[in-house]
Amino acid sequence: MSAIEVVTLGEALVALVAREVGPLASVGTFEPHVAGAEANVAVGLARLGHATAFIGRVGDDGFGTAIRRHLRGEGVDVSMLTTDPGAPTGVLVRERREFGAAEVTYLRGGSAGSRLRPEDVASAYASRTLKGARWLHVTGITPALSEHARAAVERAVELATGAGMTISLDLNLRRKLWSDDEAAPVLRSLAARAGVVFASPDEAAAVTGADAGDTAALATALLEMGPAIAVLKLGSEGALAWGHGEAPVHRAAVPVAHAVDPVGAGDAFCAGFIAARLEGGDLAWAVEIGAICGAAVVAVMGDQAGLPDREELERLLTDGPATDVLR
């Protein structure tokens, strides 16, 4: 494998996704998918040809094995994914809705992934594998998992800063894991050390205190926390990005003919954005690639299945979306 360019860390989970649309209480069958925001970004980057390493823990069980095999099969470096015999692999269960928000149930309290420690990160950075890595991607999910996991993210940010890496942070506020009051100071402190911050308007408002309906105020507030680039992911309305010294960008969403499963689209956006920046793309190009990757995921079940590889991305850029998938 070529030298690692991107490092990410967090909890990779098995998501049991309902096969039928409807409330969880009446779902009869589920299909397993590998999920977890940072794992999704790692796979997105690997598919686009960027050597990416994932730091984390899985349990010594079948789901842990499935996650390891899946990530390895996608070309993600899993040499720093530890098997922890002391706790099970985390699981989430989610229903699918065509109207209203789908419910997600976490079965991850005390999971192996939540036992990630700063020592795991320190030994990963001390290994030769990460020498020369250019980018660290973190999210607001991992610091919510446990004190140890929060300290692990802090350590990763500290080491990446020392190594001169670009750091991106996706706020990914998960209110089933912690309250806004708990999350805001932690995420503000991480944002202050990040080069790029991704957020939804709601997350940006919760963390900065700015009005969720005022995108200009949100952008100002996000940039005031310290990053050079702030990106607002607007779902079906596209994305907005601001960078010091770069013209602000608005990209309408790529329309999706059949929105099958929106979960994972934000992570796909991050993967596309990061890939474009690593390749020297400007802000507008990074948002363009992010938007295409996000739309491709929405059209397919599971967080990762629709992530485009390089060939598909080139095709989407040249020919536009296939009419039977994207309009």
Gap between the Cα atoms of 276 and 278, Å rounded: 5
Residues 90, 108 contacting (CB under 8 angstroms): yes
Does the footprint of ligand KDG cover residue 302 (CB under 6 A)?
no
Does the footprint of ligand KDG cover residue 225 (CB under 6 A)?
no
Does the footprint of ligand KDG cover residue 174 (CB under 6 A)?
yes
Residue nearest ligand KDG (C-beta atom)? 35
Residues 11, 36 contacting (CB under 8 angstroms): yes
Does the footprint of ligand KDG cover residue 267 (CB under 6 A)?
yes
Cα–Cα distances in Å, from 19 out to 14, 89, 104, 110, 122? Answer: 15, 22, 14, 27, 40
Q: How far is the CB of 319 from ligand KDG (least distance, A)?
A: 28
Burial of 324 (0-12, 13-18, 19+ CB in 10 A): exposed
Gap between the Cα atoms of 324 and 153, Å rounded: 41
Query: Could you give phi then psi for residue 197, rounded to 5 degrees?
Result: -120, 130
Residue 1, both tokens = 């494998």
Beta-bridge partners for 30: 18
Q: Which of 35, 116, 169, 219 binds ligand KDG (CB under 6 A)?
A: 35
The piece of 17-25, 31-39, 123-131, 151-159 that touches ligand KDG (CB under 6 A) is 31-39
The piece of 63-71, 155-163, 242-250, 264-272 that touches ligand KDG (CB under 6 A) is 264-272
Residue 43, both tokens = 């796979």
**Nearest partner of 190 among 227, 149, 219, judged by Cα:** 227
Q: Which of 17, 36, 184, 195 binds ligand KDG (CB under 6 A)?
A: 36
Beta-bridge partners for 56: 81
Which residue among 77, 170, 267, 303 is the active-site one?
Answer: 267
Does the footprint of ligand KDG cover residue 56 (CB under 6 A)?
no
Gap between the Cα atoms of 175 and 168, Å rounded: 21
Residues 52, 6 contacting (CB under 8 angstroms): yes
Q: Which of 266, 272, 308, 321 binds ligand KDG (CB under 6 A)?
A: 266
By beta-carbon proximity to ligand KDG, the closer residue of 267 and 288 is 267
Residue 224, both tokens = 């005031």
User: 267 an active-site residue?
Assistant: yes
User: What residues between 112 and 171 interact with ligand KDG by CB under 6 A?
Assistant: 141
By beta-carbon proximity to ligand KDG, the closer residue of 144 and 159 is 144
The piece of 125-133, 242-250, 258-266, 280-288 that touches ligand KDG (CB under 6 A) is 258-266
Gap between the Cα atoms of 99 and 95, Å rounded: 12
Q: How far is the CB of 177 from ligand KDG (least distance, A)?
A: 7
User: What residues between 76 and 115 interact with ligand KDG by CB under 6 A?
Assistant: 92
For residue 277, what is the DSSP state?
Answer: H
Q: How far is the CB of 6 from ligand KDG (least distance, A)?
A: 17
By beta-carbon proximity to ligand KDG, the closer residue of 163 and 305 is 305
The number of residues that bind ligand KDG (CB under 6 A) is 12
- Enumerate residues 6+ apart whose C-beta is below 8 A from 217: 210, 211
Q: Which of 4, 9, 27, 37 binds ligand KDG (CB under 6 A)?
A: 37
Q: Which of 263, 275, 287, 295 binds ligand KDG (CB under 6 A)?
A: 263
Residues lying near ligand KDG in the complex (CB under 6 A) are found at 35-37, 40, 92, 141, 174, 263-264, 266-267, 303
Supply the residues annotated as catalytic: 267
